[in-house]
Chain A
Amino acid sequence: MAVNFVYPEYEAVRNPDRCIACRACERQCANGAHEYLADADKMVCDDAKCVNCHRCVALCPTRALKIVRSGNTYKENFNWNAKTVDELYKQAGSGGVLLSGMGNPCDYPVYFDKILLNASQVTNPSIDPLREPMETRVFLGAKPQTVERDENGRLKNNLPPQLSLSMPVMFSAMSYGSLSYNAHESLARAAEEMGVLYNTGEGGLHENFYRYGANTIVQVASGRFGVHPHYLNSGAAIEIKMGQGAKPGIGGHLPGTKIVGDISRTRMIPEGSDAISPAPHHDIYSIEDLRQLVYSLKEASGFKKPVIVKIAAVHNVAAIASGIARSGADIIAIDGFRGGTGAAPTRMRDHVGIPIELALAGVDKRLRDEGIRDSVSIVVGGSIRSSADIVKAIALGADCAYIGTGALLALGCHLCRTCYAGKCNWGIATQIPELVKRLNPDLGHKRLVNLLTAWRHEIKEMMGGMGINSIESLKGNRLMLRGVGLNEKELGILGIKHAGE
């Protein structure tokens, strides 16, 4: 047998005084990490198989289990750190591209954590959302360019198509296929209950979910999986996926093992075939091509639905967004470099793209400088982790936030980052029926509703503290932000002052 160069990074520690050898952990682990030794009447664990998803930890009735860093270390080296060395060993062993799940975990700056919010003191009153109305409803879409009246002088409703949301949050695109049926059902039902929207991702829309159409964004990606006229007309909006923050410049890849049953039918591709989205849309090699697709989709949907163009936050994002705003798009979605994914080449995920905070600030400023900020709404994701991130994003200039990873966490995801393996013990990123049924949509959607309800209340509290009683007065209100520990250049790009100024 070949020597395995890589020692497990984490190990499952079992407290023998607590373990009752009930074998729950063994049953829960799809990776086969836990094993019962009948002769010795005890449980053992192969740490090499453990992905650190905490399913066994959460389900252990006696709290006998915990996962800790194994602590095995190479000779210390800041240049050749353990991660770098392990990755190299893996590639030398396999000859393959490294694959990762979920968003970029590397130690790059998180600008949201270096921005602080304002509150009213003395000169104007803070507002208590429990006593006064506090509005979080947002509309996404272009503003009318002119005011028109009928012969009686009444204002004509010349608004372009709008999305109405009870709060500035939507569930971002995660396809059926990468996610389980139950995960999708949870998202769709939560979106409906909260008056927000979820996004089909690029895998089409399962026939059972057409009933949630009013709360659905249908996505059109480069693979065009599951796209047909009925699909385009069944949602509240259509999103063209040009890029994704986790893997800018490449398309999605769903392995054939996940293309089973309903997923094959929904995507309109044969069972077992890999669903490989091309890196670009092959009918969009330039900005004028994008305009044609935007208008094709508008034609196909009777000009009744806003069209969203989603791009990854890359270096030239401001100019790209400006081009998109002039291409007939109603909404631009920008996905930061920390955005999640079911599977991405590790190098792309960890080294391509820019932080969403900087991308957002740059795009908002550019669109205002060009006088076209009214032509589009801006939605940001990748990554929005809390209500505070949302408030900061809106004050920087966003209209709304997309949450993906956060929503999966609410469903039980523990960020083990091995979605691509298809053996998600939480029933989220898997198509194995026994695993899928672990996620009960009744409970899953309720947890999502809880999360958004809590965040909405927190958003109201923060707005009230600032003396703002409607979310539109927060949008782009950068005086409500101050930076801490940021340099002049960073403050300049964010368009905010430093704390104390």
Chain B
Amino acid sequence: MRREGDVRIPSGCAISGFINKSGGRLSGETIIKSIAVMRDRSNGLGGGFAAYGIYPEYKDCYALHMFYDSPAAKKECEDFLERHFDIVNLSKIPTRKIKEITDEPLIWRYFVTPLPTKLADSQLDEREFTAKCVFRINTRIGGAYVFSGGKNMGVFKAVGFPEDVGRFYKLEEYEGWCFTAHGRYPTNTPGWWGGAHPFALLDYSVVHNGEISSYDANRRAIEMYGYKCTLQTDTEVITYIIDYLHRKKGLTLREISSVIAAPFWQTIAKMPPEERETHEYLRVAFSAQLITGPFSILVGFEGGLMALNDRLKLRSMVVGEKGEMVYIASEEAAIRAIEPDLDAVWAPKGGQPVIVRLNGGEEAWR
């Protein structure tokens, strides 16, 4: 059977996430309870979580989460890491044996910082250096796969139902200020754990429900800028688009929303002149990053969480608010399961971004 990445697999999904705006940390137990409610939206072929604020003791290190197919791949990858990074700490990621989760690869975690000499030689900034190393490992070292590589955050994913994946990774032992979760309903067997979601690059993580019709247009465009779509999933290409527009082009998240879920021309035509000009500019300049077809995504990033629907809102997505907490999920039931008494519940419109920042910070342009 071919692994995901050699073949493109459509899937439906459930997503859920929450953020504490003042940075208070909650246990991972909560997000498991939420995603478990939507079991019917998954089929046991993929589940996962992204957690932010979980590694305060290593907050200045990149936390690389790795899947290895073999000890040989691990050796080769560790040699590579040693040549490029200062490895501050390494360990197996703690897991618990449960009958629902089988065929696990070797799962390791490294806290690293780029070697100053290597970094200087590369003439890259620290994040680009790290991202390039991640691509190098994922495309060049067979059997080694970085599935998470941000600071003070981590992705945990596997083939299975998400609540089982959460128990497998002992998610209740982590505390973070933001969690997202994904239950996957792929049409085919992915063949390996890399195909599960969230998908992450640096501190960006994406969980996504939908099947985008613009996939190959987006893929071929983003690959021109040095990205490699090894998994052939929507989530992967969406993550790269966000990384490209946010980190490399310096667009704000709100501007990015106007690119990937652009307002229709007829809507733009009715805007006040300044706003119209901005939207026209974004659509023309970044036309290849427009995403069509159904999607609802949760984007975790350093300092916040963003939710966005496609411009026709072809996937359900609901927001719930309670005090310092903001909850977003495919179904309201998934929110009610962890917070029955909400201050407000509402459904964002298609293309309307919901951007929640730690401590209410506004995003500055660079």
Interface residues of A (CB under 8 A from B): 120, 123-125, 127, 132-133, 135, 137, 139, 143-144, 147, 149, 153-155, 157, 159, 162, 368, 371, 373-374, 466-470, 472-480
Contact = CB atoms under 8 A, between A and B. Distances in A.
Contact of B215 (A155, A469, A477): A477
Contact of A472 (B215, B217, B282): B217
Contacts of A139: 284, 287
B284 A120 contact: no
Given A124-B293, A470-B292, A147 B251 contact: yes
14 contacts: A124-B211, A124-B314, A143-B284, A144-B285, A147-B285, A155-B255, A155-B282, A374-B224, A467-B293, A468-B293, A472-B287, A473-B291, A476-B288, A479-B8
Interface string B280-322: 0110111110111110000000000000000110100000000
A466 B285 contact: no
Nearest to A479: B216
A144 B284 CA distance: 9
A180 B213 CA distance: 44
B214 A468 contact: yes
B277 A157 contact: yes
Interface string B180-191: 000000010000
Nearest to B187: A123
A124 B293 CA distance: 7
Contact of B285 (A133, A143, A149): A143
Nearest to B264: A133
Contact of A478 (B216, B284, B364): B216
B23 interface: no
A477 B214 contact: yes
Given A162-B284, A476-B217, A479-B8, 14 more contacts: A125-B314, A127-B312, A143-B285, A143-B287, A147-B250, A147-B285, A154-B274, A155-B281, A371-B225, A468-B213, A473-B214, A475-B288, A477-B215, A478-B220
Contacts of B8: 479
B220 A468 contact: no
Given A154-B278, A155-B255, A373-B224, A132 B312 contact: yes
A480 B277 contact: no
B142 interface: no
A123 B10 contact: yes
Nearest to A467: B213
Nearest to B255: A155
Contact of B294 (A124, A133, A475): A124
Contact of B266 (A133, A144, A147): A133
Contacts of A144: 285
A189 B281 CA distance: 29
Contacts of A137: 265
B12 interface: yes
Interface string B254-280: 010000001011100000001001100
Contacts of A467: 211, 213, 292-294
Centre residue among A139, A155, A371 by max chain B CB count within 10 A: A155
Contacts of B290: 470, 472-473
A468 B312 contact: no
A233 B157 CA distance: 60
Nearest to B250: A147
**What bracket does the count of chain B residues touching chain A fall in?**
35 or more
Interface in B194-228: 210-218, 220-221, 223-225
Given A123-B12, A470-B290, A475 B285 contact: no
A470 B338 CA distance: 38
Contacts of B221: 373, 476
B89 to A, nearest CB: 38
A476 B220 contact: yes
Contact of A123 (B211, B250, B264): B211
B249 interface: yes
A480 B8 CA distance: 13
A124 B290 CA distance: 17
Nearest to B213: A467
Contacts of A153: 364-365
A141 to B, nearest CB: 8
Contacts of B314: 124-125
Contacts of B220: 368, 476-478
Centre residue among A133, A373, A374, A477 by max chain B CB count within 10 A: A477
Contacts of B278: 154-155
A139 B211 CA distance: 26
Contacts of B262: 470
B210 A147 contact: no
Contacts of A135: 264-265
B10 A124 contact: yes
Contacts of B294: 124-125, 467
Contacts of A478: 216, 220
A125 B187 CA distance: 15
A362 to B, nearest CB: 14
B222 to A, nearest CB: 11
Nearest to B211: A124
Contact of B223 (A123, A133, A157, A368): A368
Contacts of A466: 213
Q: What 5 A-B pairs come out closest when comparing CB atoms?
A: A473-B214, A467-B213, A479-B216, A124-B211, A477-B217
A124 B312 contact: no
Contacts of B291: 473
Given A123-B10, A133-B264, A155-B282, A476 B292 contact: no
A462 to B, nearest CB: 12
A159 B293 contact: no
A468 B365 contact: no
A390 to B, nearest CB: 16
Centre residue among A124, A125, A373 by max chain B CB count within 10 A: A124
Contacts of B213: 120, 124, 466-468, 473, 477
Contacts of A371: 224-225
A83 to B, nearest CB: 42
Nearest to B216: A479
Interface string B223-236: 11100000000000
Given A368-B224, A374-B224, A157 B281 contact: yes
A479 B224 CA distance: 17
A138 to B, nearest CB: 8
B205 to A, nearest CB: 23
A93 to B, nearest CB: 54
Nearest to A147: B249
Interface in B32-64: none
A469 B292 contact: yes
